[in-house]
Each structure stands twice: as structure tokens, then as C-alpha cells.
Amino acid sequence: MKNKASVVIVGGGITGTSTAFSLAKRGVKDIVLIEREGLASGATGRCGAGIRQQWGTFQNCLLARESMKVFENFQEVLGTDIDIELKQKGYLLLAYSEKEMDQFRRNVEVQHQLDIPSRLVSCREAKEIVPFLNTEKMLGGAFCPTDGHANPFLATKAYAKAAERLGVEILMKTEVKAITVVNDRIKGVHTSQGFIETDKVVNAAGGWSAQIGEMAGLHLPVYSERHEILVTEPVNPIMDPMVMSFSYNIYCQQTPHGSFIMGYGPQNEPRGYNVNATWQFLETMARKAAWLLPPLKNMRIVRQWAGLYNMSPDRQPIVCESEIVKGFFMGIGFSGHGFMIAPAVGTLLADLITGSPLTWDVVLDLGRYDRHETIAEPSVV
């Protein structure tokens, strides 16, 4: 293990590994990535594996589109032969009120500014896309054919391998115990394997990012919340897109493997780190899915699990350097959509760390909360 590093990245999920790769690709040497468990063992490996570009703000659409470009050219960009099982069969968003329909209308306009090929769909068109969709009470929806799915484990592994090829040292089963800050500057990281001297730390710890912040003396405005998910047995392909509704509160997709992955946003979930699964989720999820997508009522569930959403005040990522502790960078608070924008976030963090101008004109800093410039993204589950 190195005892000195130019950058120490905390977290071996998609954000940490993508940042490691982006930095290394720009020629930064002596990068160490520290992971407490294994690659993608936190939120990345527990997520719904969807990637969508149908957002309501220009900046989110931009990050999603740029990330999709990377997913589309993954092997080339990373120089890897790992296939991340990209499936671009779209996201079908369902509207159950005029208000929701209006929102989709506005969203599509924003998306079209970035050439995202989304469109509004009627119930009939929605049924053409998913023939067994129950359109009862539905007014219509939105569809983007290039949205889809990628395998979070393979994507993380590919980033990690590519980063290692470029000289990044990845330490698994290694825990950050403390962060040394002297005169408001990062001086080093104490790990379960020893001390690493560094002046730059990247907090990519997902569900545990608030704790990493505390180690540097910072109260980061993020907290963690359990979200549950399940997967069914694999069956023949019957459903192309991710089906999602913000008001009915559900997302459900069939993976290339044939299994269905689905979840919904919990109500009144206490803040914390509990990732135990519940039987209540199974019952509610099954009821919701069977109503909306009737053939699913005959499928068997093979596994359920839970992961942590790392929530920020405006449900949007925080990607910046701390203004209080110099050298403390963060890519946190993804609020449930970290995987799909991780390629762009890695680029932005590499910009920040190398002192380069941001590749895209986005505002994701912590200071936005003090400036009351929060991001009003209307389309989140």
C-alpha cells in the first residue's frame, strides 16, 4: 500500500471508480481508491440499474445525456472488453393527472434542446410500447427510446479495471478511520491498513458520505434513507422499456437477463443506515406491479434487498470542493440517481481536482443551498 497519494478516493462504487478513471486518464499519478467492502457493494450494486435522460432541468438532462454517450461507447472510452449489458429500449413515464402531463410536456421541450429524442405518448401509444400495460386512470405519458439499462456491477468493475491499468491503486476491505485536517487543509487519511499522506480526498462514500464529511469536520447536508427493491425469476423478453410513474410511485424494468427489477419510493422511512429488507415491501410491490403490469402477477420473486439513497436537500447531487476544508472534494447526495450520471460526475470531479474549468456549465456546489439556488428537478421517484 502506498503511504503517500496525490488523491485518495473514498468509495468503490460507480462514482468513486469513474472519478478514479477520469483522473488517471488525465495523467494524475498516485491515486488510491479505498473501499470498505468490495466494488459496488453499496448503493451502486443495489440500484435499479436504469439510465434515463428524461429529466426536467436542463442541467440534469445534460449530465444524463453526456453520461449516456459514455455508456453507449463504453468499451471504446474505457479501453475495456467488458460488456456492460447496455439495453436501450427506452423509459416509459406514465402520467395520471393533467398537471403531470403538463410537466412532461415542459420536460420534453427542455430535453429537445439537448437533442434527447423523447416524445409525449397517448395511452394507445403507450400500449403499443408495452401491450399489457394497464392504462386505467392513465392520461398519457412520455417516452424516450434511447433510455435504458446497464449492469452496475460490470460498469463499476470496468471503471475499476481501467483505472488500475492507468496506475490507480484500489484497496478493498479497507476502511477510512479518520481524516487529518490541518489549517483547513487535508493532510492525510487514516485507514484500517495504515496512514496515507495526501492533500486531496474525494468523498464518494454514497450512503456513508455524511460520516466521511464528519471525519473532515464538515456537517454535510445529506442523510441516508432505505429504499427497497426486488428481482423476479428470468423469463423471455416481454417488456422493452423501464416503466415508471412518479405519482403511482413505481419503477419496473426487465433486464437483458430476463428478470424484472422493481421498486417504489418508501413513505415515512426514517433516516438511517438500515438496509434490511421488509415483507411489507414485498406485499405492496407485488400489488402495485400486478395492477399496472398484470402478467407480472404470475412471476416468482427470487430475491429482495435494500440499499441507501443518499439524500440531499434538493434531491440533487452535490459535486464540488469544500469551501471550508481545502482539498476535500465530494460527489454525494445523488438521491437515488447516482449510477446513471456517474460518467459525467467523474469528469466533473476530475475537472475540479485538476483545477480545470468545468467541462459543462452546471451548478452542483454546496454553496447553492446558502445562495438559495437549489435545483428544482420535478421528475424524481
37 binds another protein (CB under 8 A): no
First to last CA, the chain: 41
373 binds another protein (CB under 8 A): no
The nearest distance, CB 303 to another protein, in angstroms, is: 10
Nearer to another protein, 228 or 365 (CB): 228
Q: Which of 372, 351, 365, 345 is closest to 62 using CA atoms? A: 345
SS (H, E, C) 95-150: ECCHHHHHHHHHHHHHHHHCCCCCEEECHHHHHHHCCCCCCCCCCEEEEECCCEEC
Nearer to another protein, 211 or 278 (CB): 278
The nearest distance, CB 353 to another protein, in angstroms, is: 39
- Contact track, another protein, 262-281, x by CB under 8 A: ------------x-xxxx--
Contact 262, 239 (CB under 8 A): no
The dihedrals phi and psi of 249, each to the nearest 5 degrees, come to 65, 75
109 binds another protein (CB under 8 A): no
The nearest distance, CB 278 to another protein, in angstroms, is: 6
Contacts with another protein in 296-315 (CB under 8 A)?
304
Nearer to another protein, 233 or 283 (CB): 283
The nearest distance, CB 11 to another protein, in angstroms, is: 24
Residue type, 59: Q
182 binds another protein (CB under 8 A): no
DSSP characters for 40-106? Answer: T-SHHHHS--EE----SSHHHHHHHHHHHHHHHTHHHHHT-------B---EEEEE-SHHHHHHHHH
One residue of 114, 123, 282, 299 binding another protein per CB under 8 A: 282
The nearest distance, CB 3 to another protein, in angstroms, is: 30
Q: Which residues pair with 260 in a beta bridge?
A: 254
Contacts with another protein in 317-346 (CB under 8 A)?
none
Nearer to another protein, 102 or 283 (CB): 283
Q: How many residues bind another protein (CB under 8 A)?
A: 8
**Cα–Cα separations (whole angstroms), residue 19 to 156, 159, 234:** 11, 9, 33
| E strand or H helix at 22 | helix 14-25
The nearest distance, CB 279 to another protein, in angstroms, is: 5
27 binds another protein (CB under 8 A): no
> Which positions lie near another protein, rule CB under 8 A?
274, 276-279, 282-283, 304
